[in-house]
Amino acid sequence: MAKVLMKGNEAIALAAIKGGVDAFYGYPITPQNEVPEYLSKHLLANGKVFLQAESEVSAINMVYGAAGAGKRVMTSSSSPGIALKQEGISYITAAELPCLIVSVMRGGPGLGSIQPSQGDYYQATRGGGNGDYHLIVFAPESIQETIDTIKESFDIADYYRNPVMVLVDGLIGQMMESVDFDRPKKERFVPEKDWATNGTKNHPGRRNIANSLYLDPAELEQHNIKLHQKYEVIKKNETKFELIDFDNPEYVIVAYGTMARICRSAIEMLKNEGIEVGMIRPITLFPYPEKAFEQIPENVKGILTCELSMGQMLDDVLIANNGKHKVGFFGRAGGMLPDPEEIVGAIKNFNERVVK
Amino acid sequence: MEAKNIKVAGFGGQGVMMFGQILAYSATKDEINGLWFPSYGPETRGGTANCSVIVSDKQINSPVFKNADHLVAFNAPSLEKFKDHVAKNGLILYNSSLIEDEFSQDGSTVVGVPINDIATELGNDKVANMVMMGAYLELTHLFSDETIEAIIKKFLGERKAHLLDVNKKAIQSGKDFVKKLGVKYA
Amino acid sequence: MWEVKYEKSQGLTDSKLSYCPGCAHGIIHKLVAESLVELGILDRSIAIASVGCSVFSYQFFNCDAQQAPHGRACALATGVKRVLPDNIVFTYQGDGDLASIGIAETIHAANRGENITVIFINNAIYGMTGGQMAPTSLIGQKTTTSQDGRTQKNHGNPIKISEMFATIEGVAYLERVAAYDPKHVLNAKKAIKKAFQYQMENRGFTMVEVVSTCPVNWGMKPVDAMKWSKEAMEPVYPLGVFKDKGRE
C-alpha cells in the first residue's frame, strides 16, 4: 500500500485495529480524543466492542475485565487520565493480564496544559500504582514508529501477560505524517490464553481466576519473585534503542520521542559546524537501554540528556552512566517545545548544563 | 527536493489549517514525506491560528523549526508574529486585502496578494485560501496542478463536489496574479 | 436404604468459607450457587468478587472468577460481558464497595442496562476492615468511625440503593430481600434466580439487594443480629420488588 497522510491519534487507532484489538474502553481527554473517536466508528462497524466509560477509573477496570476474559483490549488517555488509571494498571499487572495502554502526554502537573510534554516519564516507568510492577513502555519518535509498535504490542503483551504502554506526547497525537500501515510485523509466538476467565465449560476441571490478592506473605513474595523474573526476561529480550551518528562523537545526546527528532536536526546542524554529536535514542523506557551506554567512547566530552520535562529520564541516564562521564541536562516543560537551535546552543555551552 | 519548512497562519475560519494540510497530503500523494501540525487549544485564541508543514523527499527529523522557509500570512497579526522567523532567502506571502501597508523584508522574497478581493470577484469569499494556494504554487512550484486538484477533490467530497470548479478558478487566479507581477522565487 | 435429602451445592467449591459465625454471607452464597446450578449456567458463569468481607468469594463460587479493585466490580463485569455476551456475569458486592466507593461504576452499569447481575449485600457496616461506618449505616448506629452514633448532620442519611436504582431506565429487575428467617431466605432465592433468569433472557441490568447481618461488628449474638436486621434495618430498607420489566 502507498503511504497515506494520517493524524497520529487516528493512526494509533487504525494500528490497534491492524494489531487485532477486540475491545476499547476509554474516557475523553485532550489531546488523545481522536483515538476513541476513530475507534467508536470502526470497531462498532466491525462487530467489535467500543465503550465510553463513566471515568478513567472505570475504563481501566473494564480493560481488566475484558483482558481477563482473554480478549485483546486497550485504552488510551492523557496525563491526568493516566493518573486515574494507575490503580487498575497495578491490579492488571499483578493479575498478569495483557493489554495495551496508550498515553498521549500533555503538560502537568495537575490539570496542566494540553500541549505536548514528556512529564509522565516517571508515571510510565515508575508507575503511580502500588507495589513492585513494571509496564513494558515504548516511546516511539514518529507516527510511523508508533504504528509499527502498536501493531506488535498485543503480541508482546500476550506473550509476557503484561500490559504494554505506548508513550507519546501530544505532538505525535496531533500532527499528521506520511505513513505506511503495511510494513511487515515481527513474527512472534503468541501462546494460547488457557488462563482466560471465559467459563469452565471452555476448560473443564479447572477454574480460571484473575486475582491479585495473596494474604499469605510467603505466597505473595513468591508472586513478586515470579513477576521480577519475568521483568528480567523482558529486559533481556525486549530492550530497544537506536544509536545515531556514533562513529566518533564529541558529545552524546540521550533523548526519546519527539525530543529525539528535534535533536536529530540539531545533530545535523552541529555536524555542518564541524561538531560531531551522537545520540542514544531509547525506544523502550522500561526496560531502559542501559547497555547502550557501554558503547559511548571513552573520550567523549559529555552526555546531554534532553527531555520535555524537568529531568526525569535523567535519573536513568545517571544510573546507566554510573559516574563515568559528565552528564548535562536540557529540558523544556509545560508544553513548550524547543527548536533544534536551542539544542545546538545547549551542546555548545555544555559545561553550563552539567548536573552537579 | 530539499526539505521545506512552511508556516501558515491567519484567523480561524480563513482556511489556514486546510491550506497546510493540502500541502502535506500533496507531498504524500507525490510519494515524498509530508508533516503537518496545528497549533491547538488556547494558543489559537486571540488572533492567529497556525500550522507548520514540512515537505521533504528525505526522512523528516524535527517537526519543530525556528525559521520557516515559507511564511504564508493570511492576516496582519500573523505576519507580525512570524515575520522575524523566516529563513534567509525565504518567501513571505501575505494577504494584501487585509494588510494594506506594503510590506518588505531584507533577505526575503515578499509577495502580497489581495486574496479576498480576488475571491469576491470570483463570487465566493470562501475560496480566498485557494487564491493564496495558486500564488504559492506559482512561486514555489512544489506540486503539480493534477496533484493539488486530486487533493482538493478529496477535501470537497461528494457533498461539495460542485465547488471544484470555483476552487480551480481561484488557484488559477492566484497564479495569474503572480505571473502578472512578474515575481520569480524558485 | 440411604437417601440424600440435602447436599452442598455443586455451585460451591470445597474451600472453607471465611465468614464469621452467624453472618448471612454463607446463606447468600448458597442461594447464588444453587441458582447457577439449577439454571444450568454454572459452567459459563464468571463471578466478580469485590473488596470487603466477600473479597474471597472467588474461592467459593465454583466457576471462573475475577477479583476486582474496591468498588470496580461493575466495571470489570461490563468489560467481561461486552466481550463474552453469551456468558453469565455477576458481581457480589457489599455496601461499602457498591454504595460508597463504587457508586459511579454501579449506577452507570445500570444506566447502560448492562446485562449483568449484581448481588448487593447490605449489612450497614464495613465488616472486613473492622466495623467502620458504611453509607448504609443507620442513624444512631454506633460504629468504630461513628462512636457516638451516626448523625444526619455529620454523615447524611443512610443511602437507599434500591429506591435510587428504581429510577434508572436500564434496570430490568430490582428487588430488596432479607435473610433473617427461612421464609425470607426462600424468597431471596427466588429473587436471585429470577435475576439470573433475566440475564439469560438478555433483559438488562438486574440487582438483588439483600438486607444482611454482621453480628461480630454489630456486637450481637447471631440470633440478635437477625432480629436487628428485621426490626431496625427493614423499616429503613423496606423489602419488595422495586422494578420488574417482565411485569410491565
Whether residues A201 and C80 touch (CB distance < 8 A) is answered with no
Q: Which of A54, A84, A96, A195 is the best substitution to test chain C (most C C-beta atoms within 10 A)?
A: A54
Q: Which residue has the cell 486574496?
A: B115
| Residue A192 CB-density burial (10 A; 0-12 exposed, 13-18 middle, 19+ buried) | exposed
| pLDDT tier, B41 (very low <50, low <70, confident <90, very high otherwise) | low
Say yes or no to pLDDT of B139 above 60: yes
Start-end of H helices in chain A:
8-18, 34-45, 56-68, 79-94, 121-125, 143-160, 170-174, 217-238, 257-272, 313-321, 340-348
Distance from CA of A24 to the nearest CA of B (A): 26
| Gyration radius of chain A's alpha carbons | 21
Phi, psi of A262 (to 5 degrees): -60, -40
A43, A20 Cβ separation under 8 angstroms? no
- Touching C: which chains, 3+ CB pairs < 8 A? A
One DSSP character per residue, A255-280 reads --HHHHHHHHHHHHHHHHTT--EEEE
| pLDDT tier, B47 (very low <50, low <70, confident <90, very high otherwise) | low
DSSP class of residue B123 equals T
C196, C35 Cβ separation under 8 angstroms? yes
Average pLDDT over residues B48-64: 94
pLDDT tens digits for range C50-69: 999 999 999 999 999 999 99
Say yes or no to pLDDT of A279 above 80: yes
Query: What is the end-to-end Cα distance of chain C in Å, rounded?
Result: 49
Whether residues B34 and A178 touch (CB distance < 8 A) is answered with yes
Domain count within chain B: 1
Contacts of A174 in chain B (CB under 8 A): 37-38, 40
Interface list for chain C against chain A, based on CB atoms closer than 8 Å:
13, 42-46, 48, 55-56, 58, 62-69, 72, 75-84, 87, 104-105, 107-108
C105, A54 Cβ separation under 8 angstroms? yes
Distance from CA of B177 to the nearest CA of A (A): 31
Extents of the domains making up chain C? 25-244
Say yes or no to pLDDT of B42 above 70: no
Whether residues A176 and B63 touch (CB distance < 8 A) is answered with no
Residue B1 has what pLDDT?
75
Average pLDDT over residues C155-179: 98
The kind and range of the H/E element at B147 are helix B145-156
| pLDDT tier, C247 (very low <50, low <70, confident <90, very high otherwise) | confident
- What is the CATH class of C25-244? alpha beta
Whether residues A198 and C64 touch (CB distance < 8 A) is answered with yes
Nearest to A174 among B24, B38, B66 (CB): B38
| pLDDT tier, A56 (very low <50, low <70, confident <90, very high otherwise) | very high
Q: B and C: touch, per 3+ CB pairs < 8 A?
A: no
Nearest to A5 among B25, B42, B63 (CB): B25
Nearest to C64 among A73, A95, A208 (CB): A208
Query: Is some CB atom of chain A closer than 8 A to the CB atom of B37?
Result: yes
Say yes or no to pLDDT of B134 above 70: yes
| pLDDT tier, B44 (very low <50, low <70, confident <90, very high otherwise) | low
Give the least confident one: A50-64, A257-271, B32-46, C16-30: B32-46
Extents of the domains making up chain A? 4-187+211-238, 241-353
- Domain A241-353 bears CATH identifier 3.40.50.920: yes
Average pLDDT over residues B160-168: 96
pLDDT tens digits for range C24-46: 999 999 999 999 999 999 999 99
Say yes or no to pLDDT of B12 above 90: no
Average pLDDT over residues C4-9: 93
pLDDT tens digits for range A74-107: 999 999 999 999 999 999 999 999 999 999 999 9
Nearest to C87 among A25, A54, A199 (CB): A199
Phi, psi of B2 (to 5 degrees): -70, 150
C-alpha C58/C-alpha C46 separation (Å) is: 9
Q: Which residue has the cell 480524543?
A: A33
Nearest to A2 among B31, B36, B61 (CB): B31
pLDDT tens digits for range A157-211: 999 999 999 999 999 999 999 999 999 999 999 999 999 999 999 999 999 999 9
Residue B46 has what pLDDT?
56
Q: A249: which 3 cell numbers?
A: 562523537
CA A65 to chain centroid, in Å, comes to 22
Contacts of A4 in chain B (CB under 8 A): 28
Contacts of A338 in chain B (CB under 8 A): 64
Percentage with pLDDT > 90 across chain A: 99
Query: Is some CB atom of chain A closer than 8 A to the CB atom of B34?
Result: yes
Whether residues A23 and C82 touch (CB distance < 8 A) is answered with yes
Query: Is some CB atom of chain B closer than 8 A to the CB atom of A135?
Result: no
Q: Quick one: how many helices (H) and strands (E) in chain B?
A: 6, 6
Q: Which of C13, C42, C70, C80 is the best substitution to test chain A (most A C-beta atoms within 10 A)?
A: C80
Whether residues A69 and C44 touch (CB distance < 8 A) is answered with no
B34, B53 Cβ separation under 8 angstroms? yes
Residue of C nearest to A203 (CA): C43
- Domain A4-187+211-238 bears CATH identifier 3.40.1180.10: no
- Touching B: which chains, 3+ CB pairs < 8 A? A
Average pLDDT over residues C74-101: 98
Nearest to A3 among B31, B41, B65 (CB): B31
Residue of B nearest to A338 (CA): B64
Nearest to A262 among B32, B41, B62 (CB): B62
pLDDT tens digits for range C140-152: 999 999 999 999 9
Whether residues A61 and C66 touch (CB distance < 8 A) is answered with no
Q: Is residue B186 part of a domain?
A: no
Average pLDDT over residues A231-258: 97
Residue C135 has what pLDDT?
97
Say yes or no to pLDDT of A270 above 70: yes
Number of A/C CB contacts below 8 angstroms equals 130
Whether residues B40 and A262 touch (CB distance < 8 A) is answered with no
Distance from CA of C105 to the nearest CA of A (A): 6
Whether residues A200 and C82 touch (CB distance < 8 A) is answered with no
The kind and range of the H/E element at B120 are helix B115-121
Percentage with pLDDT > 70 across chain C: 100
C-alpha A152/C-alpha A240 separation (Å) is: 14
Whether residues A5 and B24 touch (CB distance < 8 A) is answered with yes
Whether residues B62 and A175 touch (CB distance < 8 A) is answered with no
Distance from CA of B27 to the nearest CA of A (A): 8
Average pLDDT over residues A334-341: 96
Q: Which residue(s) pair with A243 in the sheet?
A: A280
Say yes or no to pLDDT of B169 above 60: yes
| pLDDT tier, C9 (very low <50, low <70, confident <90, very high otherwise) | very high
Say yes or no to pLDDT of B111 above 90: yes
Percentage with pLDDT > 90 across chain B: 90
Full domain range(s) for residue B74: 4-99+106-181
Say yes or no to pLDDT of B177 above 90: yes
Whether residues A198 and C45 touch (CB distance < 8 A) is answered with no
Whether residues A176 and B37 touch (CB distance < 8 A) is answered with yes
- Touching A: which chains, 3+ CB pairs < 8 A? B, C
Say yes or no to pLDDT of B45 above 60: no
CATH of the domain at B127: 3.40.920.10
**Strand positions, DSSP E, C167-217:** 171-178, 205-211
Q: B103: which 3 cell numbers?
A: 510590506
Residue B43 has what pLDDT?
53
Domains A4-187+211-238 and A241-353 share a fold: yes
Residue B39 has what pLDDT?
85
| pLDDT tier, A272 (very low <50, low <70, confident <90, very high otherwise) | very high
Whether residues A53 and C77 touch (CB distance < 8 A) is answered with no
Whether residues C44 and A199 touch (CB distance < 8 A) is answered with yes
Distance from CA of A290 to the nearest CA of B (A): 24
